[in-house]
Amino acid sequence: MKVAIANDHAGTWLKHALMEHFSDQVDFTNYGTNEEDSVDYPDYVHPLAKSIESGENELGILICGSGNGVCMTANKYQGVRAALCWTNEISALARQHNNANVCCIPARFLDQQEATEIVNTFLTTVFEGGRHQRRVDKIPC
């Protein structure tokens, strides 16, 4: 599975942990910073979102302090459906009902185990289609 991953300074530690944990299952493209010095998250989100729109990557994972900034930025792209995921249930529903293709993680509010479970759920849950497809089709402007 080809997955794009990006982060700002608040998510560097978590990005590295997730990449290591899923290294046997996922082919990651890293668009994030590898430093902990303050950076502007949109600079890292835009390349990831473009890679999702183009089909270069199937799914994406974005990480910042709250998860909100990266989510707002990614959702500016018509081919991106980014979801702020802070629990396993939210992660599952984002995939099942919304066909989310980018999982946004709030690094300052989750520990490594919680984030790993959320990402695992996101990567392994499939879109249910049916009545949900009609709704997803109405999302783009």
Active-site hit among 16, 21, 46, 97: 97
pLDDT at position 125: 98
What are the C-alpha distances in Å from 35 to residues 12, 17, 62, 77, 123? 7, 14, 15, 26, 26
The torsion angles phi and psi of 80, rounded to 5 degrees, stand at -115, 135
Q: Is residue 97 among the annotated active site residues?
A: yes
Active-site hit among 64, 85, 103, 104: 64
Q: How confident is the model at residue 81 (pLDDT cuts 50, 70, 90)?
A: very high
pLDDT at position 133: 97
Mean pLDDT throughout 98-114? 98
Mean pLDDT throughout 97-111? 98
Q: 97, 105, 89: which is closest to 126 by C-alpha?
A: 97
- CB–CB of 51/60 below 8 Å? yes
Mean pLDDT throughout 62-67? 98
- Which structural domain, as residue segments, surrounds residue 83? 2-137
Please tell me the distance from the alpha carbon of residue 105 to that of residue 62, in angstroms, as a whole number: 6
- Global confidence as pTM: 0.97
Q: Is residue 64 among the annotated active site residues?
A: yes
Number of structural domains in the chain: 1
- Check which CATH number belongs to the domain holding 107 and give it: 3.40.1400.10
Whether the pLDDT of residue 129 is over 90: the answer is yes
pLDDT at position 141: 86
